[in-house]
Amino acid sequence: MLALTAPSSPSPSAPLFPRELALDNLLGVALFDVNGLPREYFVTQENRSTGWVQIVFQALGLRSLLASSLKLEGFQQIAVHLNTSTAVVLRRRHDYIALLLKAPAAVPFQDDLTPLNQWVNTLEADFFQDHPHFTAA
């Protein structure tokens, strides 16, 4: 199974993640279906709030509205900048995944999403259910 590792102690079998994806920087994860409806979300002891999930839901709804009105295709990501964190939403094959990061500023991996996409495409809900850092909300 894939393990989140801190950049200072990567294991040889763990993929290389952007520094922002170290376990300590993830405050929450939410999975949305292909229509943008929330399916499951997970929080941490550090941030038990789920209000950010509603904001991501609204952003996905706006994206859907704009895409259908303007005939836009190829959505890959959204970054929602909150007061003390940033929610990064990525399109996967059959759903969306939102990662709540501690960083309130710029998301440094917007130019090259390959490592991030590779990582999120390997994740399933049971990874977060079984991981001691996360709690189902």
| 60 within some domain | yes
Containing structural domain, residue 25: 20-136
Sheet with strand 135-136: strands edge to edge: 77-81, 86-91, 95-101, 26-33, 38-43, 135-136
Instruction: Give the three-state DSSP class for 131.
Output: coil
Structural domain contains residue 37: yes
Q: Look at residue 47 in the predicted model and tell me its pLDDT.
A: 92
Q: Is residue 13 part of a domain?
A: no
State the pLDDT confidence band at 42, using cuts at 50, 70 and 90: very high
In this prediction, residues 107-127 reach a mean pLDDT of 72
In a domain, 24, yes or no: yes
For 44-82, the pLDDT digits (tens) are 999 999 999 999 999 999 888 888 888 777 667 888 888
pLDDT value for 96: 93
Residue 27 is assigned to a structural domain of this protein: yes
CATH code of 92's domain:
3.30.450.190
Whether 5 maps to a domain, the answer reads: no
Whether residue 39 is predicted with pLDDT greater than 90 in this model: the reply is yes
Structure token pair of residue 99: 């990662």
Could you tell me if residue 127 is inside a domain? yes
pLDDT for 22 equals: 73
pTM: 0.78
Domain count, the chain: 1
Asked if residue 117 is part of any domain, the answer here is yes
Residue that wins the pLDDT comparison between 103 and 84: 84
Q: How does 90-106 read in b/e, with b if 16+ C-beta sit within 10 Å?
A: bbeeebbbbbbbebeee
